[in-house]
Amino acid sequence: MKERIEECFKSRFATEGVFYASAGRINLIGEHTDYNGGFVFPGAIDKGMMVDIALNSTDKVRAYSVDLDSYVEFGFNEEDAPSESWARYIFGVCREIIKRCGNVLKGFDTAFAGDVPLGAGMSSSAALESAFAFALNDIFNLSIDKFELAKIGQSTEHNYCGVKCGIMDQFASVFGKEGNLIRLDCRSMEYKYFPFHPQGYRLVLLDSVVKHELASSAYNKRRESCENVCRVMRENGYPRVEFLRDADMAMLGSIREKISDEDYLRAKYVIEETERVLTVCEALERDDYETVGKMMYLTHYGMSKEYEVSCQELDFLNDIAKECGVTGSRVMGGGFGGCTINLVKDELYDTFIEKACRLYKEKYGRSPKVYPVVISNGARKL
Ligand code: GLA
């Protein structure tokens, strides 16, 4: 990939640049908990974005997406926003840096490419944002700390891409460390690395290759439901509930009549999911993968039936995993398509993959993509 980008960069800009990379992510458990102030448990993966970049002595960004063979130029003012969605990520990162640091950026040339599958729930967009946030911070000597780099990516999603996401993806993409998952408390932002080398098990993603058209608006709607439940709690005897993290099932029960059935189920899922992350962390400390797996199946049930962010293809893949005796399986990431993440015993791996691919193809006419997970480093200079 590096050679390909370098070649494109040289032929387009007739100069040499500097390389930066960042990563997509997996999440073992803790889904839709980040914007509820809860816990997540992600790790960076060996698939990411690579960026070649050099100053160009102008006041413009000249950006080339190698994968899409698309070229865009834009300035740094709000009204210069490009219409190409891929370029909005880069523009957004520039704008968010300017909002924090003033007019510190100068024109640059860049070519980039990636190998995170798009729309598969592995956070290709966070990888793009953090690669650029990291690169610009370094090139312009801005001394922005790593948390703020992650927040720059998150604000880019909020303000330039229309997704009111939490912090998990950008955090994992910036803080990722080879061989480690990271438990992040999204309220206090405390985090802890957990070495993850499950003896006798493998983690594998099965990509349903389904992409949901309205994923971002449905995502924002889920967030609104959670915020609504918190507001009703605050107005009904629990003034300190800022996030669903601050609530428990008894509190939710006490306002049951004041919210819709749908919002009740959404909140129930989030409250239980936050607990599950802690259960999984404890289980991992005693190498109890059976408990980890059970929690993953419960998460899938909740995401499918209560939070309603699964789809029939992902439910089908989850059912096959269960039938094959896979230890844990669930839909991963925002949902509405994308992958399941599966914790599989070594001896079951081949039969599971073979059966899942065969049955999925029989039913949906195409094979799921199979990605064995390698937990890797986050954003860095190459
Ligand atoms: C998307 C968002 C994250 C998180 C997950 C669900 O990936 O970008 O912030 O909410 O969905 O856990």
Residues 234, 89 share a domain? no
Confirm whether 381 is domain-assigned: no
Which pair of tokens denotes residue 16? 């040499």
Closest by CA position to 331, among listed 184, 121, 171, 164:
121
- Give the position, in ligand 1's atom list, of the atom nearest the Cα of 167: 9
Is the pLDDT at 255 greater than 80? The verdict is yes
CATH number, domain containing residue 269: 3.30.70.890
Indicate if ligand 1 lies below 6 Å from the C-beta of 334: yes
Chain-centroid distance of CA 98 in Å reads 24
The answer to whether the beta carbons of residues 111 and 64 sit under 8 Å apart is: yes
Taking only the tens place, the pLDDT of each residue in 74-127 is: 999 999 999 999 999 999 999 999 999 999 999 999 999 999 988 888 999 999
Residues 61, 39 share a domain? yes
Note down the domain range covering 63: 2-197
Among residues of the chain, what percentage have pLDDT more than 90?
96
Cα(83) to ligand 1 centroid in Å equals 24
Torsion of the alpha carbons at 311, 299, 373 and 343, rounded to the nearest 10:
-110
What whole-number distance in Å separates Cα of residue 326 and Cα of residue 317? 11
What whole-number distance in Å separates Cα of residue 198 and Cα of residue 373? 12
Is the pLDDT at 307 greater than 90? The verdict is yes
Q: Which residue of the set 169, 207, 246, 315 is catalytic?
A: 169
Tell me the average pLDDT across 340-369. 97
DSSP string, 269-307: HHHHHHHHHHHHHHHHHTT-HHHHHHHHHHHHHIIIIIS
Confirm whether 382 is domain-assigned: no
pLDDT of 216? 85
Closest by CA position to 317, among listed 274, 268, 366:
366
pLDDT of 214? 62
Is the pLDDT at 213 greater than 80? The verdict is no
More confident residue, 197 or 150: 150
Is the pLDDT at 70 greater than 70? The verdict is yes
pLDDT of 119? 81
Residues 163, 48 share a domain? yes
Confirm whether 377 is domain-assigned: no
More confident residue, 217 or 73: 73
**What is the number of H-type helices and E-type strands within the chain?**
11, 13
As to burial, measured by CB atoms within 10 angstroms (0-12 exposed, 13-18 middle, 19+ buried), residue 163 is middle
What whole-number distance in Å separates Cα of residue 44 and Cα of residue 199? 20
pLDDT of 211? 83
Indicate if ligand 1 lies below 6 Å from the C-beta of 51: no
Tell me the average pLDDT across 214-229. 92
pLDDT of 191? 97
Cα(161) to ligand 1 centroid in Å equals 14
Cα(169) to ligand 1 centroid in Å equals 6
Task: Work out how many domains the chain is built from and give that number.
Answer: 2
Indicate if ligand 1 lies below 6 Å from the C-beta of 34: yes
Closest by CA position to 42, among listed 209, 166, 161, 158:
166
Residues 32, 174 share a domain? yes
169 among known catalytic residues = yes
DSSP bridge partners of 112: 51, 65
